[in-house]
């Protein structure tokens, strides 16, 4: 945003990355030990976390405002679901199908969205997800329409671990996938490509003057973001064995944006923190009264915008910096 | 021929409803440069107040419309002062987040107070019957909506083109800093324009309740439609908004009549095509923005 922090140095940061990955694995393990009865919910958190990470790639690193990210998530979910119904049972292959479909949808979305800026861009992204929603709804012979897509029966993972009733395999498969994706993305956002994207976010004109094509770079990021979101969707399809219309809805896009902002955009950790807190609180509060939950989300959003524009992760890093004494 | 006329009448009436609600959004977006996703929320507040006054208190339709407008403005002014004013100069993403937050709060709080059910606004006898307009009869309510839409368009045109306030408003739209340097209290102009916009939203929400029913998720469900109208028409342009409302009303109504199975499909397809072809809106002006 408008603060003038220097971009993170691209020097050796791998020890911090290893610690970060270990922390995620530890948090996942703690979730497994503490909530052994709600593994399905934990897997849903991981699936949505991939969606929020993919949104962070566009909003946090490229400065593209989009409310249509669930189109990419849904593309992955439906592609994996349809492939599974038609006889492809290997879970790894299903995830790959989801990534591919999400990536293609991302390319398409990038090609449409990059034609406009500001409000028209936002509206295009909304129209895009609504169009996907209508297509999934109307092509009921392929997608199951409003009944949802049933009959997804993934085979055992690596031929060894069958998907059980308690969701153990799905949970560990999801956690492994999240760690892999997170490691890859930590590398990507600090690569020259990632730095170019951040440069475009700060000042597109200057990047163009340096002889770098803004549009091709952003389209690449759209494809990458689509692949990540598509993997999230495929994971959701495999874990719940059903794909519903809500996976391509405007509401899911808006919620993903809220999660990202809550955690803090422009940081991969922020995306994860926001997802866990949002879904955790939603799980508790919306069971009491869904309208209380909406009011609470609204108040949280307003508070974050007014008092912590860099999200909870920003608050945490600021606190750490203050504790160490300002550099 | 009968079908064509029916579609034309419905499309025109629906377009006018969209216009009454959306013109306020277009003004706030053109003037304050704020993307107000909560605009539909104010139309919803208006609808809830009108429903309460007309149905639960048993007062007349006119009283309900008046109460809705006044009540909504009374809620909007403090929100403008304490929340919106802080994000006027902020990046669009921040404005989007803030106004989505306000939308969620409006939905949560109104449904907590009034209960999560569909709200009806009973029409007076004069508006619920059919009217003969020579070659065919149409519902009186449709005619009423059309007249309201045209009156709003004419009134706004007179206000903006022919009054001193309109001159200040246009000056502030073109260059806020210079206008305030010339001694115009731009903050006051902003507040009045915002109140006017929200009053119109409430008015549109009430008279358009036959087309866009007042229900618990009204603010979210039609948020997209309203934003689409403004981005197609171009922010800050009355004639652009009018053209966009009539065009999108026609596309939507025709699609519903001829291909009812495909619902909103044609609407969103048309939006993507139009926005791609005219990224600044049909009649939008060049914004001083990178």
Residue A68 lies in a domain: yes
| A301: nearest CB among B97, B220, B262 | B97
Mean pLDDT score of chain B: 83
Under 8 Å between Cβ of B266 and B244: no
pLDDT at site A316: 83
How confident is chain B (290 residues) per 10-residue block, as mean pLDDT?
Answer: 77 89 85 84 91 84 90 91 83 85 90 83 77 73 88 89 87 82 86 90 89 85 83 78 86 80 76 80 52
Mean pLDDT of the A186-205 span? 86
Closest residue in B to A258 (Cα–Cα): B97
Interface test with chain B among A70, A115, A119, A202, by most B beta carbons within 10 Å: A119
pLDDT at site A2: 43
Task: Give chain B positions within 8 Å (CB) of A245.
Answer: none
pLDDT at site B287: 46
Task: Give chain B positions within 8 Å (CB) of A294.
Answer: 104-105, 107-108
Task: Give chain B positions within 8 Å (CB) of A299.
Answer: 101, 105
Under 8 Å between Cβ of B221 and A133: no
Give the closest-approach CA distance of A49 to chain B in angstroms. 19
Residue A75 pLDDT grade (very low, low, confident, very high; cuts 50, 70, 90): very high
pLDDT at residue A111 is higher than 70: yes
Residues near A278 by beta carbon (within 8 Å), at least 6 away in sequence: A255, A258, A259, A262, A297
Contact B98 A294 (CB under 8 A): no
- Residue span of the structural domain in which A142 resides: 14-246
Number of domains in chain A: 1
Q: Is B181 an interface residue toward A (CB < 8 Å)? A: no
Residue B226 lies in a domain: no
Residue A4 pLDDT grade (very low, low, confident, very high; cuts 50, 70, 90): very low
Q: B residues 66-105 near A, CB within 8 Å? A: 83, 86-87, 91-94, 96-98, 100-105
pLDDT at site A201: 85
Other C-beta atoms within 10 Å of B44: how many?
31
Q: Is A200 an interface residue toward B (CB < 8 Å)? A: no
Residue B257 lies in a domain: no
Closest residue in B to A286 (Cα–Cα): B108
Residue B62 lies in a domain: yes
pLDDT at site B284: 57
Closest residue in A to B38 (Cα–Cα): A298
Number of domains in chain B: 1
Q: How many whole angstroms separate alpha carbon A20 and alpha carbon A263?
A: 16
Contact B101 A300 (CB under 8 A): yes
Residue A186 lies in a domain: yes
Helix ranges (DSSP H) in chain B: 2-32, 39-51, 61-79, 85-87, 92-114, 125-128, 140-162, 164-174, 176-181, 186-207, 218-221, 223-233, 238-258, 265-277
Contact B280 A118 (CB under 8 A): no
Q: A residues 79-118 near B, CB within 8 Å? A: 112, 115-118
Mean pLDDT of the A31-55 span? 86
Residue A327 lies in a domain: no
Q: B residues 106-145 near A, CB within 8 Å? A: 106-109, 111-112, 116
Contact B100 A291 (CB under 8 A): no
pLDDT at site B290: 31
pLDDT at site A159: 67
Interface test with chain B among A2, A110, A127, by most B beta carbons within 10 Å: A127
Q: Is B236 helix (H, G, I), strand (E, B) or coil?
A: coil
Q: Is B259 an interface residue toward A (CB < 8 Å)? A: no
pLDDT at residue A116 is higher than 60: yes
Q: Number of residue pairs across A and B with CB atoms under 8 Å?
A: 143
Other C-beta atoms within 10 Å of A326: how many?
5
Q: Is A306 an interface residue toward B (CB < 8 Å)? A: yes
pLDDT at residue A288 is higher than 90: no
Give the closest-approach CA distance of B20 to chain A in angstroms. 20
Helix axes A39-62, A192-202, angle to 10 degrees: 60
Largest Cα span, chain A: 62
Q: Is B119 helix (H, G, I), strand (E, B) or coil?
A: strand
Residue A58 lies in a domain: yes
pLDDT at site A12: 56
State which H helix or E strand residue B130 sits in: strand B130-132
Closest residue in B to A308 (Cα–Cα): B94
Give the closest-approach CA distance of A286 to chain B in angstroms. 12
Residue B54 lies in a domain: yes
Task: Give chain A positions within 8 Å (CB) of B281.
Answer: 120
pLDDT at site B72: 93
Q: Is A319 an interface residue toward B (CB < 8 Å)? A: no
Buried b (16+ CB within 10 A) or exposed e, A85-114: beebebbebbbbbbbbbbbbbbebbbebbb
Q: Is A257 an interface residue toward B (CB < 8 Å)? A: yes
Q: Identify the weakest region by mean pLDDT among A76-80, A132-136, A146-150, A264-268.
A: A146-150
Is the model more confident about B259 or about A99?
Answer: A99
Mean pLDDT score of chain A: 83
- Residue span of the structural domain in which B58 resides: 20-215
Q: Identify the weakest region by mean pLDDT among A172-186, A270-284, B132-146, B179-193.
A: B132-146
Residue B147 lies in a domain: yes
Residue B134, phi then psi, degrees to nearest 5 = 95, -80
pLDDT at site A103: 93
Q: How high is the ipTM of this complex? A: 0.80
Q: pLDDT tens digits, residue range B53-70?
A: 888 888 888 888 999 999
Q: A residues 56-75 near B, CB within 8 Å? A: 59, 63, 65, 67
């Amino acid at each position: 945003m408008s603060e003038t922090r220097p971009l993170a140095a691209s020097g050796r940061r791998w020890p911090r990355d290893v610690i970060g990955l270990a922390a995620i694995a530890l948090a996942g393990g703690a979730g497994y030990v503490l909530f052994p009865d709600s593994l399905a919910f934990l897997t849903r958190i991981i699936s949505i976390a991939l969606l929020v990470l993919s949104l962070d790639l566009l909003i946090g690193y490229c400065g593209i405002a989009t409310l249509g990210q669930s189109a990419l998530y849904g593309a992955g979910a439906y592609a994996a679901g349809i492939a599974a119904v038609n006889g492809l049972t290997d879970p790894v292959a299903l995830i790959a199908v989801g990534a591919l479909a999400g990536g293609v949808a991302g390319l398409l979305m990038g090609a449409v969205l990059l034609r406009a800026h500001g409000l028209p861009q936002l509206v295009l992204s909304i129209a895009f997800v609504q169009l996907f929603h209508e297509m999934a709804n109307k092509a009921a012979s392929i997608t199951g329409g409003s009944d949802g897509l049933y009959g997804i029966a993934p085979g055992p993972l690596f031929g060894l671990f069958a998907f059980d009733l308690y969701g153990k395999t799905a949970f560990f498969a999801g956690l492994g996938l999240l760690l892999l994706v997170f490691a890859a993305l930590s590398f990507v956002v600090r690569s020259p490509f990632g730095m170019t994207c951040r440069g475009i976010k700060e000042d597109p004109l200057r990047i163009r003057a340096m002889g770098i094509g803004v549009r091709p770079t952003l389209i690449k990021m759209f494809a990458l973001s689509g692949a990540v979101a598509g993997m999230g969707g495929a994971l959701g399809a495999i874990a719940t064995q059903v794909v519903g219309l809500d996976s391509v809805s405007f509401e899911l896009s808006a919620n993903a944006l809220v999660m990202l902002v809550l955690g803090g955009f422009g940081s991969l950790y922020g995306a994860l923190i926001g997802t866990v807190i949002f879904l955790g609180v939603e799980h508790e509060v919306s069971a009491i009264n869904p309208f209380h939950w909406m009011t609470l989300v609204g108040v949280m959003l307003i508070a974050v915008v007014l008092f912590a524009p860099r999200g909870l992760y920003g608050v945490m890093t600021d606190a750490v910096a203050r504790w160490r004494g300002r550099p | 021929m009968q079908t064509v006329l029916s579609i034309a009448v419905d499309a025109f009436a629906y377009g006018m409803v969209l216009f009454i609600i959306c013109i306020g959004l277009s003004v706030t977006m053109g003037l304050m440069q704020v993307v107000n996703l909560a605009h539909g929320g104010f139309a919803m507040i208006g609808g809830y107040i009108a429903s309460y006054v007309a149905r639960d208190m048993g007062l007349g339709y006119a009283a309900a419309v008046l109460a809705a407008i006044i009540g909504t403005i009374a809620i909007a002014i403090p929100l403008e002062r304490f929340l919106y004013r802080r994000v006027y100069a902020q990046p669009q993403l921040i404005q989007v987040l803030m106004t989505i937050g306000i939308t969620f709060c409006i939905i949560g709080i109104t449904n907590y107070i009034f209960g999560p059910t569909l709200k009806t606004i009973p029409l007076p006898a004069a508006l619920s019957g059919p009217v003969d307009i020579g070659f065919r009869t149409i519902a009186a309510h449709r005619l009423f909506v059309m007249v309201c839409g045209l009156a709003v368009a004419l009134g706004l045109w007179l206000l903006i083109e022919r009054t001193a306030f309109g001159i200040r408003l246009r000056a502030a739209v073109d260059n806020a800093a210079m206008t305030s340097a010339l001694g115009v209290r731009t903050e006051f102009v902003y507040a009045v324009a915002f109140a006017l916009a929200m009053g119109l939203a409430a008015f549109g929400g009430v008279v358009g309740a036959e087309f866009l029913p007042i229900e618990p998720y009204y603010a979210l469900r039609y948020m997209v439609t309203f934003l689409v109208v403004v981005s197609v028409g171009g922010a800050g342009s009355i004639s652009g908004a009018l053209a966009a409302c009539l065009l999108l009303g026609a596309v939507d109504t025709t699609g519903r009549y001829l291909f009812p199975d495909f619902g909103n499909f044609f609407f969103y397809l048309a939006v993507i095509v139009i926005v791609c072809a005219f990224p600044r809106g049909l009649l939008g002006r060049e914004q001083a923005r990178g």
